[in-house]
Protein backbone atom coordinates (compact mmCIF):
# COMPACT_ATOMS: atom_id res chain seq x y z
CA UNK A 1 0.00 0.00 0.00
CA UNK A 2 1.53 3.28 -1.11
CA UNK A 3 0.66 6.28 1.04
CA UNK A 4 2.26 9.68 0.41
CA UNK A 5 2.25 12.44 3.00
CA UNK A 6 1.14 15.92 1.97
CA UNK A 7 1.64 18.81 4.37
CA UNK A 8 -0.75 21.74 3.92
CA UNK A 9 -0.47 24.44 6.55
CA UNK A 10 -0.44 22.74 9.94
CA UNK A 11 -2.11 19.54 8.70
CA UNK A 12 -0.59 16.44 7.16
CA UNK A 13 -2.75 14.42 4.80
CA UNK A 14 -1.93 10.85 3.85
CA UNK A 15 -2.70 10.37 0.15
CA UNK A 16 -3.57 6.98 -1.27
CA UNK A 17 -4.63 6.45 -4.88
CA UNK A 18 -7.42 3.88 -4.91
CA UNK A 19 -10.05 2.96 -7.45
CA UNK A 20 -12.69 4.19 -5.00
CA UNK A 21 -10.96 7.56 -4.74
CA UNK A 22 -10.85 7.82 -8.53
CA UNK A 23 -14.55 6.94 -8.75
CA UNK A 24 -15.40 9.54 -6.09
CA UNK A 25 -13.35 12.19 -7.92
CA UNK A 26 -15.21 11.31 -11.11
CA UNK A 27 -18.51 11.94 -9.32
CA UNK A 28 -17.11 15.41 -8.52
CA UNK A 29 -16.41 16.00 -12.21
CA UNK A 30 -12.73 14.98 -12.42
CA UNK A 31 -12.01 11.91 -14.52
CA UNK A 32 -8.40 10.72 -14.28
CA UNK A 33 -8.46 9.89 -18.00
CA UNK A 34 -9.11 13.52 -18.92
CA UNK A 35 -7.82 15.37 -15.85
CA UNK A 36 -5.22 18.00 -16.49
CA UNK A 37 -2.09 18.10 -14.38
CA UNK A 38 -1.90 21.78 -15.27
CA UNK A 39 -5.38 22.50 -13.86
CA UNK A 40 -4.94 23.06 -10.14
CA UNK A 41 -8.61 22.46 -9.42
CA UNK A 42 -8.46 18.96 -10.94
CA UNK A 43 -5.38 18.16 -8.84
CA UNK A 44 -7.04 19.49 -5.67
CA UNK A 45 -10.17 17.37 -6.19
CA UNK A 46 -8.02 14.29 -6.76
CA UNK A 47 -5.83 15.12 -3.74
CA UNK A 48 -8.96 15.44 -1.59
CA UNK A 49 -10.27 12.03 -2.58
CA UNK A 50 -6.80 10.50 -2.21
CA UNK A 51 -6.61 12.07 1.29
CA UNK A 52 -9.96 10.52 2.19
CA UNK A 53 -8.71 7.11 0.99
CA UNK A 54 -5.45 7.60 2.90
CA UNK A 55 -7.30 8.49 6.08
CA UNK A 56 -9.41 5.35 5.80
CA UNK A 57 -6.25 3.26 5.31
CA UNK A 58 -4.77 4.88 8.44
CA UNK A 59 -7.90 3.99 10.43
CA UNK A 60 -9.69 7.32 10.67
CA UNK A 61 -12.17 9.39 8.69
CA UNK A 62 -11.30 12.67 7.00
CA UNK A 63 -14.20 14.83 8.12
CA UNK A 64 -13.48 17.84 5.90
CA UNK A 65 -15.76 18.49 2.95
CA UNK A 66 -14.18 19.14 -0.43
CA UNK A 67 -14.98 22.83 0.00
CA UNK A 68 -13.27 22.94 3.41
CA UNK A 69 -10.24 21.13 1.99
CA UNK A 70 -10.04 23.65 -0.86
CA UNK A 71 -10.27 26.55 1.59
CA UNK A 72 -7.15 25.28 3.40
CA UNK A 73 -5.09 25.30 0.19
CA UNK A 74 -3.18 28.36 -0.93
CA UNK A 75 -1.58 28.84 -4.32
CA UNK A 76 1.82 28.32 -2.69
CA UNK A 77 0.74 24.75 -1.83
CA UNK A 78 0.23 23.73 -5.46
CA UNK A 79 3.84 22.61 -5.96
CA UNK A 80 3.65 20.27 -2.96
CA UNK A 81 0.33 18.89 -4.20
CA UNK A 82 1.80 18.24 -7.67
CA UNK A 83 4.81 16.42 -6.17
CA UNK A 84 2.60 14.31 -3.87
CA UNK A 85 0.23 13.56 -6.73
CA UNK A 86 3.13 12.40 -8.90
CA UNK A 87 4.50 10.20 -6.10
CA UNK A 88 1.18 8.58 -5.28
CA UNK A 89 0.38 7.87 -8.93
CA UNK A 90 3.81 6.40 -9.71
CA UNK A 91 3.62 2.80 -10.91
CA UNK A 92 5.90 0.08 -9.57
CA UNK A 93 7.82 -0.04 -12.84
CA UNK A 94 8.45 3.72 -12.64
CA UNK A 95 9.52 3.37 -9.03
CA UNK A 96 12.25 0.83 -9.89
CA UNK A 97 13.84 2.88 -12.67
Residues 31-81: tens digit of each pLDDT: 888 776 678 899 899 999 999 999 999 999 999 999 999 999 999 999 999
Q: Is residue 15 part of a domain?
A: yes
Q: Is residue 36 part of a domain?
A: yes
Query: What are the pLDDT digits (tens) for 14-39?
Result: 999 999 999 999 999 988 887 766 78
Q: Is residue 45 part of a domain?
A: yes
- Let me know: does 51 contact 84? Beta carbons within 8 Å: no
Q: Is residue 67 part of a domain?
A: yes
Q: Is residue 97 part of a domain?
A: no
Q: Is residue 96 part of a domain?
A: no
Q: Is residue 95 part of a domain?
A: no
Which domain range does residue 39 map to?
Answer: 4-90
**Ramachandran angles phi, psi of 7, nearest 5°:** -100, 120
pLDDT given at position 94: 55
Q: Is residue 22 part of a domain?
A: yes
Q: How many domains does the chain have?
A: 1
Which conformational region is residue 42 in: left (phi greater than 0), alpha (psi within -120 to 50 degrees), or beta? alpha
Amino acid sequence: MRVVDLKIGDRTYHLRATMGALRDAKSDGVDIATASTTDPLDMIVLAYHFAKAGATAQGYELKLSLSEFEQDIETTDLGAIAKAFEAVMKTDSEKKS
